[in-house]
């Protein structure tokens, strides 16, 4: 019987495992993609302690740190979690392994929505297509970029990126932005000084360029030369396992947690991009914070502290 099974080997899961191991609990991490989204992040410039670090290198450091504490890592995929009559859990993997655990930490992340255009995957390998303006916007200092999306993440991202980029073309499918009002007030300043150019009622039809992105073609017929494109059209949390187990979701379809990262099921905790905590702020530092709290709650549950 393992004390804690952490599902997901992204930064949230690795941080949870670090704390749980230091509480001297037995810990197993099961994640089918080491590092999760962070391993695809290229240069990370906002994780404290590192001026700039490759996302993959950062997660390898985190992995080595937990392994030194005796945490076991498996790259299996979980297909089912069942609650047992004695309030423990049975985790079933794709390779039909069954693992018993006293507690579970769901650190399963969320997939960023894509445009679904040809060359998108090719250009997203550090060649101009990005999915996190807050994370990678500052890398485009003095350049021209376009941001697709009119929600809060897109607008917040533009407010940050506008301090670096020379020009931002803001492509919105509808005829208005839908962010938190304060973020729109901030964006208006950049629209007024023409740093941001809103283009409403438009979608991206084509990504231009051979080796890397050089421009975009819009549904209104316009072609724009840019150095980078940011796709900010939402994320889909990985909640299938949680739902089958009976974990409650919030109104946006994310795992519902309280400020101790507890779900509605005793012994089941969550954190990171799969939850909607910290107001959708999906970052490495917020994921790590939530992972540490989830592990603390698991420790208290096991020791009845
Ligand atoms: C391109 C990009 C760049 C980014 N850049 C930055 C940045 O510069 N700075 C910053 O702070 N943030 C950045 N972010 C955001 C940051 O990477 C995320 O907030 C963070 O990765 C969330 O971590 P997580 O552990 O919650 O989820 P994830 O990283 O998504 O990890 C989820 C884990 O769960 C596993 N999993 C899911 N379901 C199962 C299952 N059924 N069985 C087994 N395993 C499962 C996955 O394999 C993965 O290991 C970036 C994100 C992207 C996409």
**Does 78 share its domain with 175?**
no
- The residues with which 237 forms a beta bridge, in sequence order, are 110
- Last residue of one domain, picked from the residues 231, 266, 281: 231
Per-residue pLDDT reduced to its tens digit, 136-150: 888 899 999 999 999
**Does 199 share its domain with 248?**
no
Residue 39, pLDDT score? 87
Please report which confidence band the pLDDT of residue 303 belongs to, taking 50, 70 and 90 as the band edges.
Answer: very high
- Contacts with 69 (C-beta within 8 Å, 6 or more apart), sequence order: 18, 21, 22
- Phi, psi (degrees; rounded to nearest 5) at 199: -125, 100
Residue 44 CA, closest ligand 1 atom number: 8
Q: Which of 54, 48, 44, 29 is nearest to 107 (CA)?
A: 29
* Across 257-268, average pLDDT: 98
Per-residue pLDDT reduced to its tens digit, 46-59: 899 999 998 999 99
**Does 131 share its domain with 30?**
no
CA distance 55 to 191: 32
Judged against a pLDDT cut of 90, whether residue 31 lies above it is answered with: yes
**Does 14 share its domain with 106?**
yes
- Last residue of one domain, picked from the residues 196, 212, 231: 231
| Contact in structure between 155 and 183 (CB atoms under 8 Å) | yes
Judged against a pLDDT cut of 90, whether residue 157 lies above it is answered with: no
Give the start-end residues of each E strand in 8-157: 27-30, 43-44, 53-54, 72-74, 78-83, 89-93, 98-106, 110-112, 129-130, 144-148
Residue 82, pLDDT score? 96
Q: Which of 73, 109, 33 is nearest to 283 (CA)?
A: 109
For residue 35, how far is its CA from the centre of ligand 1 (angstroms)?
7
Domain of residue 121: give its range: 114-231
Per-residue pLDDT reduced to its tens digit, 179-206: 879 889 999 999 999 999 999 999 999 9
CATH number at residue 133: 3.50.50.60
**Does 93 share its domain with 183?**
no
**Does 100 share its domain with 245?**
yes
Q: Which of 245, 273, 237 is nearest to 5 (CA)?
A: 245
- Last residue of one domain, picked from the residues 171, 206, 231: 231
State the chain's mean pLDDT as an integer.
94
CA distance 228 to 176: 23
CA distance 93 to 48: 35
Ligand 1 site residues (CB inside 6 A) read: 7-13, 30-33, 36-38, 40-41, 44, 46-47, 77-78, 107-109, 112, 131-132, 135-136, 238, 241, 272-273, 282-285, 287
* Across 227-240, average pLDDT: 93
For residue 225, how far is its CA from the centre of ligand 1 (angstroms)?
30
- Give the containing element (helix H, strand E) for 225: strand 223-225
CA distance 78 to 173: 37
> In the chain, what percentage of residues exceed pLDDT 70?
100
How is 115-166 classified by DSSP, letter by letter? ---TTHHHHTTTSSEES-HHHHGGGGTT-EEEEE--BHHHHHHHHHHTTT-S
For residue 303, how far is its CA from the centre of ligand 1 (angstroms)?
30
**Does 224 share its domain with 177?**
yes
* Across 236-265, average pLDDT: 96
Please report which confidence band the pLDDT of residue 215 belongs to, taking 50, 70 and 90 as the band edges.
Answer: very high
């Amino acid at each position: 019987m393992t004390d804690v099974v952490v599902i997901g080997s992204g930064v949230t899961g690795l941080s949870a495992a670090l704390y749980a191991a230091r509480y001297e609990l037995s810990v197993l991490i099961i994640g089918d993609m080491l590092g999760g989204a962070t391993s695809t992040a290229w240069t990370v410039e906002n994780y404290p302690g590192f001026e700039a670090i490759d996302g993959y290198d950062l997660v390898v450091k985190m992995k080595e740190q937990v392994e030194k504490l005796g945490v076991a890592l498996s790259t299996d995929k979980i297909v089912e979690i069942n609650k047992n009559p004695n309030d423990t859990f049975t985790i079933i993997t794709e390779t039909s392994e069954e693992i018993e655990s006293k507690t579970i930490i769901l650190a399963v992340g969320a997939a960023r929505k894509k445009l679904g255009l040809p060359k998108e995957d090719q250009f997203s390998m550090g060649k101009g297509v990005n999915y996190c303006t807050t994370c990678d916007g500052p890398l485009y200092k003095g350049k021209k970029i376009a941001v697709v999306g009119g929600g809060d993440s897109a607008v917040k991202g533009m407010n940050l990126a506008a301090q670096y980029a020379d020009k931002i073309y803001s492509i919105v499918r509808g005829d208005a932005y839908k962010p938190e009002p304060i973020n729109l007030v901030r964006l208006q300043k950049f629209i007024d000084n023409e740093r941001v150019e809103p283009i409403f009622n438009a979608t991206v039809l084509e990504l231009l360029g051979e080796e890397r992105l050089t421009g975009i073609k819009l549904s209104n017929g316009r072609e724009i030369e840019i150095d980078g494109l940011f796709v900010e059209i939402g994320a889909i949390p990985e909640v299938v396992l949680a739902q089958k187990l009976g974990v409650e979701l919030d109104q946006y379809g994310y795992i519902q947690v309280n400020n101790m990262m507890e779900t509605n099921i005793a012994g089941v905790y969550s954190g990171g991009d799969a939850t909607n905590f910290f107001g959708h702020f999906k970052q490495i530092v917020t994921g790590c914070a939530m992972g540490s709290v989830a592990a603390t709650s698991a420790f208290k549950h096991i020791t009845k502290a």
